[in-house]
Chains A and B, each alone.
Chain A
């Protein structure tokens, strides 16, 4: 694999030709915010948080998808990008019912982190207050669709790491919904192995472990990293 050199935020960066902008940036300590991205899973490109400016390109490009190229010039932090990211977080907060003070993921939530990071101190958009359900039919886990940001991390981790493909998406637009198997209660799913990977991958309090209080909840993303590293690099040590 050849090595290419590109410029990210005026910094010269070398990267392997198969890498994405996100990987190249993070490898040199430049952080690009993401919500739907999980290292090791297929990129989704839906949250648009990782959009970057590519010199010479008309459109903004998602860093999680765009591969590095020799001589590229990228900007990951501009006033415009910061404003767009802030609006994305605001759109998410207005779309579902997110009340941090009564959420099991309070202080352990990537949407909350993003809101703090982007400086969302108040909501400029109208809340839509959707009527969404809470499914606690599973013996160990529950899903609160009000907290779901439809990032599909659960779908990808269940399909690509666990191999069960219990989770999927139904509907479209504002009616998009995560479903288990044929849109049946999670507790009745014949394919779910109760492995908990979806819970670990969930960025918010949408998928939670029963019995956890807010102070106890820990998504423990490290377990996913361990599994991905083990499979990709055959390193099974903790």
Chain B
């Protein structure tokens, strides 16, 4: 494969394009709502209507408005049909001949789409994720070619550093610094690892990118491999993401066949192989040391850091570990330059971030906005606020490691520092909207129970501490706790976060701590002594 052949593919794709394209989402959300059958119905309808020569029906990745699926779009700017069924699918085809579409449509001008900025999700819902040609037609693999033939590895690292890209796994560590550290550490081999073990409740950003645009991630990983001097990459995907795994494997094979991965990438001396490793669905395996243990065939439990993976990673070798979204940003940064990327977002948090907007919000789905966008814009304008005119009480960001942001902080910009200041984190991008009927103590208990179930059990504070905290939270919810229990809970939160071995335990108390910070009255009003006091003040007899 060389640049000319790459260009030929682009030209052929353009020549083969039919005047009209009907796109049907075949990502996991819509598939679960029967979109595969909708896709075949559309294909049959096009055949039957005799328009096969000018209409193409294509299965595409996520079109973002996940709660309204199955989604069908006519061309990129044409109508977007929601909740399409096999019964009304053919009417969409009929509209091309002047008929009436029976499925409800969603306005493209709605703030849900209009207020978003697409970098990572640019191809999602537009290209066929199962055809490499479809990705190449959008300019795919050009950045890899550019890195290999026009830049030195140090130039690539410098570009990533200057772009200001920060780790999208949640911690926000500067990506360029991480790449440079791995490149500088000595070892016989180096490895690139993509963390796709997304396990936060309410989060599906990585899954959507992998299902909708897998080559973007592969290209980003290959560029990283070239930059740090690695010949082997692993994508660690959780086993529940069967469709993502299937499409990744297909994409790796396609890229290998075209000489874009494997031995002699673009016929250069650079070899880069990528293998998929499937996790068994343990939340802790998203933690980097546990993830690496799992890749090496060991029990997925964390080990203390330092040493960090950049120095002592897979098989003791320097290892670069980044999240799906981090790698997905890389091709565009190389192609468009560091300055282009740095201008998006805020000076400290550049670029965009994909969020999964879920919970009590009108539009559930994938949202991509520049970092620094006010939380209110995301939940009220893009998300459409609470259904039926309800009030937002809080927004939970960052999953079980994150916190609840109360209504009064909705104007805070969403970036790494601002969220930290109000007691939450970016996390990988889960965003759960809660209305004024939500019981915040119960929310804290839910997340604590999640951490308790997912604790690997290696360290005592996390293993036994989460059990005790969950029991205390349950007692508060049930109204059988007293003030001493609340104090005990707060002490445990402090102790577990300070003494646990890995991020799971260290952050498990966060939802409790943040709800205590903003909704303390909900805790205190349920304590036995406060109800007794209230009863006494009402003149009731104390038993």
A124: chain B residues at CB < 8 Å are 488
Check if A176 sits within 8 Å of B457, measured CB to CB. Answer: yes
Check if A173 sits within 8 Å of B471, measured CB to CB. Answer: no
User: Does B177 have its Cβ within 8 Å of any Cβ on chain A?
Assistant: no
A46: chain B residues at CB < 8 Å are 458-460, 501
B284: chain A residues at CB < 8 Å are 172
Instruction: Mark contacts of A168-184 with chain B using CB atoms, 8 A cut-off: 1 yes-contact digit, 0 otherwise.
Output: 01011111100000000
Check if A125 sits within 8 Å of B498, measured CB to CB. Answer: no
Check if A174 sits within 8 Å of B463, measured CB to CB. Answer: yes
Check if B468 sits within 8 Å of A84, measured CB to CB. Answer: no
A-B contact pairs, 24 of them (CB 8 A): A44-B458, A45-B459, A46-B458, A48-B459, A59-B506, A62-B304, A62-B501, A65-B303, A65-B304, A66-B306, A87-B461, A87-B491, A88-B461, A124-B488, A128-B471, A149-B460, A169-B299, A171-B457, A172-B454, A173-B455, A173-B457, A173-B466, A174-B464, A174-B467
Name B393-412 residues within 8 Å CB distance of A. none
User: Does B495 have its Cβ within 8 Å of any Cβ on chain A?
Assistant: yes
Name A32-79 residues within 8 Å CB distance of B. 44-48, 51, 59-62, 65-67
User: Does B453 have its Cβ within 8 Å of any Cβ on chain A?
Assistant: yes
**CB-CB under 8 A for A150 and B499, given A94-B468, A172-B456, A173-B453:** no
- Minimum CB–CB distance for A68 against chain B, Å: 12
- Minimum CB–CB distance for B501 against chain A, Å: 6
- Minimum CB–CB distance for A129 against chain B, Å: 12
**CB-CB under 8 A for A48 and B457, given A128-B467, A173-B466:** no
Main secondary structure of the interface of B (DSSP, over half): helix
Check if A84 sits within 8 Å of B460, measured CB to CB. Answer: no
Check if B460 sits within 8 Å of A91, measured CB to CB. Answer: yes
B459: chain A residues at CB < 8 Å are 45-48
Residue among B306, B458, B465, B468 with the highest chain A CB neighbour number at 10 A: B458
Check if B492 sits within 8 Å of A87, measured CB to CB. Answer: yes
B471: chain A residues at CB < 8 Å are 126, 128
The CA-CA distance from A126 to B465 in the complex, in Å, is 11
A60: chain B residues at CB < 8 Å are 498-499
Check if A66 sits within 8 Å of B304, measured CB to CB. Answer: yes
Residue among A48, A61, A175 with the highest chain B CB neighbour number at 10 A: A48
Check if B464 sits within 8 Å of A94, measured CB to CB. Answer: yes
Instruction: Mark contacts of B460-503 with chain A using CB atoms, 8 A cut-off: 1 yes-contact digit, 0 otherwise.
Output: 11011111100100000000000000001001100100111100
- Minimum CB–CB distance for A170 against chain B, Å: 10
The CA-CA distance from A150 to B463 in the complex, in Å, is 10
- Minimum CB–CB distance for A35 against chain B, Å: 8
Closest chain A residue, CB of each to CB of B456: A172
Given contacts A87-B495, A95-B460, 9 further A-B pairs with CB under 8 A are A47-B459, A65-B304, A87-B461, A126-B471, A172-B454, A173-B453, A173-B466, A174-B455, A176-B463
Check if A92 sits within 8 Å of B460, measured CB to CB. Answer: yes
**CB-CB under 8 A for A174 and B499, given A45-B303, A87-B492, A91-B464:** no
User: Does B282 have its Cβ within 8 Å of any Cβ on chain A?
Assistant: yes
A173: chain B residues at CB < 8 Å are 452-457, 463, 466-467
B456: chain A residues at CB < 8 Å are 172-173
A84: chain B residues at CB < 8 Å are 495, 498-499
A67: chain B residues at CB < 8 Å are 306
B299: chain A residues at CB < 8 Å are 169
Closest chain B residue, CB of each to CB of A177: B457
Instruction: Mark contacts of A90-103 with chain B using CB atoms, 8 A cut-off: 1 yes-contact digit, 0 otherwise.
Output: 01101100000000
Q: Which of the residues A62, A83, A91 comes within 8 Å of B465, measured between beta carbons?
A: A91
